[in-house]
């Protein structure tokens, strides 16, 4: 046996949650071979002496917003340097296929640029064509869920219309085709128009299609429902209960305000699972949120799509109406601090990148709402924000501890001042959360980032170190792995991850990016 790569001397964490074992890990093509005993005479084109280091399966980011930015920057250093080898995109109900109308694709790209980055040149329509954009053209593997926003745009349009019977038939047909072409299920973003205009009943019917395919429903819940606390998650469980679909809740801790709030919400998950409803969730180890800056605007401002939104942003009467409202989202521009803007592309605005909105407003001599509206107009809606969630650290850690929790960075790659989670989520889990705090064992942290998400996504040959598995591999130093990214200096690569291998190809080699782009589109198996 002549191997392409042989990794020797390391502690091997296989991703299952079991303790480490000693072995050599061989790579032949895109597959793993485990070798025990003396391997000094095993022939290999390249040998890495990993004595004192650890080997694990490549990490899987269950909530990624790399959708458009990775097409501009296929080396994808902010993520692959963390050991991420697979990302789930299309989350929050916001995806980029199918689009039968090219004009709608372009409108959507402008509308959502603050979340997923600006669209590159080119046109596509189907999910199959879209996934081809990533296949063996980017550094990491891409898994995809189709957003319900796209289904509504193609049928009911950009407005808050109730879906008719014919609309529902068409949405179901589009969803079936999307899954047949490789989508792993459907995502919903129930605070992001136009997907947020979907009723519970509409989503139940769509989730029945997902159920029949063996796919999953990934949801950004309808924050603002009822008490604004448990009710959004109750709706998500109801959709799963009545449709029979597997439910995965995104960024589960993101809006919790007080210590102890994790208790009833984790009980909601446990009770649903006791009832036989398959519920999982993801979280990140930070107290910072972030999204496209238009989330500070009420739904009526966004009703009808980006063209009408631009008209309303420029309308003094619309701004006056917003000032009179008590929409909780407006705390983002009413707050004196804690809501930082990024993603500026106009030279005249670059001085504002990373500043809090109230600081930007002071420089412009405007009030915060006028400053926000003016900048959104000037930047064609493509701004992002980073802000404090007011999350109690205890809540975050209790969420991460739960056995049904996976890891999702929710990391935006827009602008020069993204959330530190964009560059730091996975090394922070291994460093601060496991090694320094002892919250979880290294084996369990790795399971949450590898085999557990792979199992949910149906990736039977990834997320694990075993004979015949795909060679997505991370080599790291247990003593030094960690992140130094902060809110003030977020674009800092992690420490302690010298090697990352994707589909058998070295992408990070002794701390340097090789320029390789071996990532694949991981289409749903037929």
Please choose, from the candidates 292, 433, 303, the residue with its C-alpha nearest in 3D space to the C-alpha of residue 375: 292
pLDDT of residue 260: 60
**Cβ atoms < 10 Å from Cβ of 385:** 29
User: Do β-strands 185-189 and 216-220 pair in parallel, antiparallel, or remain unpaired?
Assistant: parallel
* Residues sharing a CB contact under 8 Å with residue 242, sequence separation 6 or more, in sequence order: 204
pLDDT class for 230, splitting at 50, 70, 90? Answer: confident
Cβ pair 6, 12 in contact under 8 A: no
**Spatial contact of 5 and 50, defined as CB atoms under 8 Å apart:** no
Residue 206 has pLDDT above 70, yes or no: yes
Q: Give the number of other Cβ atoms within 10 Å of residue 393's Cβ.
A: 11
Count H helices, E strands: the chain? 20, 25
Alpha-carbon distance of 264 to 43, in angstroms, equals: 56
Residue 392 has pLDDT above 60, yes or no: no
Three-state secondary structure of 99-127: CCCHHHHHHHHHHCHHHHCCCCCCCCCCH
pLDDT of residue 325: 83
- In the predicted model, is pLDDT for residue 525 greater than 80? no
Written as six digits, the tokens of 97 are 């296929």
Residue 136 backbone dihedrals phi, psi, to 5 degrees: 55, 30
Q: What is the CA 136 to chain-centroid distance, rounded?
A: 20
pLDDT confidence tier of residue 395, bands split at 50, 70 and 90: confident
Token pair listed for 382: 């493509």
Q: Which helix (H) or strand (E) holds 505?
A: strand 505-509
Distance separating alpha carbons of residues 500 and 85, to the nearest angstrom:
8
- pLDDT above 70: percentage of residues in the chain: 94
Residue 435 CA to residue 170 CA, distance in Å, equals 51
- Write the CB contacts of 472 (distance below 8 Å, at least 6 apart in sequence): 57, 58, 85, 86, 141, 462, 463, 501, 502, 503
Higher pLDDT, 343 or 264: 343
Handedness of CA 512, 487, 294, 284 (dihedral sign): positive
> At residue 161, what are phi and psi to the nearest 5 degrees?
-70, 150
Q: Tokens for 179?
A: 């899954």
C-alpha–C-alpha distance, residues 500 and 206, integer Å: 38
Q: Shortest CA distance to 185 belongs to which of 211, 163, 161, 165? A: 211
pLDDT tens per residue, range 251-263: 986 555 555 677 8
Structural contact between residues 464 and 480, judged by C-beta atoms closer than 8 angstroms? no
Helical pair 200-213 and 165-180, crossing angle rounded to 10 deg: 30
Contacts of 205 (CB under 8 A, 6+ apart): 168, 172, 243
Q: What average pLDDT does the structure give for the chain?
A: 94
Burial of residue 500, with CB atoms counted within 10 A of its CB: 0-12 exposed, 13-18 middle, 19 or more buried: buried
Give the pLDDT confidence of 274-331 residue by residue, as tens digits: 999 999 999 999 988 889 999 999 999 999 999 999 999 999 999 999 998 876 666 6
Per-residue confidence at 336, pLDDT binned at 50, 70, 90?
Answer: low
Gap between the Cα atoms of 132 and 129, Å rounded: 5
* Strand intervals (E) in 215-357: 216-220, 246-249, 279-283, 288-292, 339-342
CA distance 418 to 130: 26
Domain definitions of the chain by residue range:
1-87+430-478+491-516, 291-388
pLDDT at 431 over 70: yes
CATH tag for 1-87+430-478+491-516 (out of 2.30.40.10, 3.40.50.2300, 1.10.287.70, 1.10.579.10): 2.30.40.10
List pLDDT tens digits, range 111-170.
999 999 999 999 999 999 999 999 999 999 999 999 999 999 999 999 999 999 999 999
Within 10 angstroms of residue 38's Cβ, the number of other Cβ atoms is: 8
Confidence of residue 524 (pLDDT cuts 50, 70, 90): confident
Place of tokens 């991850």: 497
Predicted confidence at residue 265, as pLDDT, reads: 85
- Neighbouring C-beta atoms of residue 426, cutoff 10 Å: 31
Minimum mean pLDDT range among 226-230, 265-269, 285-289, 396-400:
226-230
């Amino acid at each position: 046996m002549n191997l392409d790569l042989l990794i020797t001397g390391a502690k091997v964490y296989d991703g299952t949650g079991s303790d480490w074992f000693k072995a050599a890990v061989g790579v032949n093509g895109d597959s793993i071979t485990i070798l025990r005993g003396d391997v000094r005479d095993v022939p290999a084109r390249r040998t890495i002496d990993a004595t004192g280091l650890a080997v694990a399966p490549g990490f899987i980011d269950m909530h990624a917003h790399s959708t458009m930015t990775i097409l501009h920057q296929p080396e994808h250093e902010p993520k692959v340097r963390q050991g991420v080898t697979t990302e789930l995109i299309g989350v929050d109900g916001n995806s980029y296929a199918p689009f039968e109308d090219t004009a709608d694709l372009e409108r959507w790209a402008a509308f959502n640029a603050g979340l997923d980055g600006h669209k590159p040149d080119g046109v596509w329509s189907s999910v199959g064509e879209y996934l081809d954009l990533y296949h063996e053209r980017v550094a990491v593997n891409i898994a995809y869920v189709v957003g319900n926003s796209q289904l509504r745009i193609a049928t009911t349009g950009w407005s808050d219309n109730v879906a008719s019977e014919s609309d529902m038939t068409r949405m179901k047909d589009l969803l079936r085709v999307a899954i047949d072409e490789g989508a792993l299920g459907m995502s919903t973003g129930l605070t992001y128009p136009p997907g947020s205009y979907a009723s519970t009943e509409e989503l139940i019917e769509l989730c029945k299609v997902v159920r029949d395919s063996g796919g999953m429903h990934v949801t950004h819940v309808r924050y603002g429902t009822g008490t604004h606390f448990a009710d959004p998650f109750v709706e998500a469980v109801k959709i799963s209960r009545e449709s029979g679909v597997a439910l995965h809740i995104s960024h589960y801790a993101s809006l919790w305000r007080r210590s102890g709030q994790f208790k009833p919400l984790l009980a909601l998950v446990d009770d649903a699972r006791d009832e036989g409803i398959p519920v999982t969730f993801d979280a990140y180890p930070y107290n910072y949120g972030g999204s496209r800056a238009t989330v500070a605007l009420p739904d009526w401002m966004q009703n009808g799509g980006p063209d009408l939104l631009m008209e309303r942003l420029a309308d003094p009467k619309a701004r006056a109406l917003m000032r009179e409202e008590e929409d909780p989202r407006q705390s983002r521009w009413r707050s004196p601090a804690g809501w930082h803007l990024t993603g500026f592309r106009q030279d005249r605005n670059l001085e504002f990148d990373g500043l809090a909105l109230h600081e930007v407003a002071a420089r412009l001599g405007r009030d915060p709402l006028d400053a926000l509206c003016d900048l959104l107009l000037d930047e064609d809606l493509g701004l992002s924000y980073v802000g404090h969630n007011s999350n109690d650290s205890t809540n975050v850690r209790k969420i991460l501890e739960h056995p049904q929790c996976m890891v999702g960075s929710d990391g935006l790659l827009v602008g020069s001042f993204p959330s530190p989670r964009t560059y730091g989520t996975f090394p922070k889990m291994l460093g601060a959360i496991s090694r320094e705090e002892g919250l979880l064992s290294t084996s369990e942290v790795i399971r949450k980032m590898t085999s557990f998400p792979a199992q949910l996504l149906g990736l039977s040959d990834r997320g694990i170190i075993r004979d015949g598995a795909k060679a997505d591999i991370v080599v790291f130093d247990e003593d030094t792995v960690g992140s130094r990214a902060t809110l003030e200096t977020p674009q800092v690569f992690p420490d302690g991850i010298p090697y990352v291998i994707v589909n058998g190809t070295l992408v990070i080699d002794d701390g340097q990016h090789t320029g390789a782009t071996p990532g694949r589109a991981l289409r749903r198996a037929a």
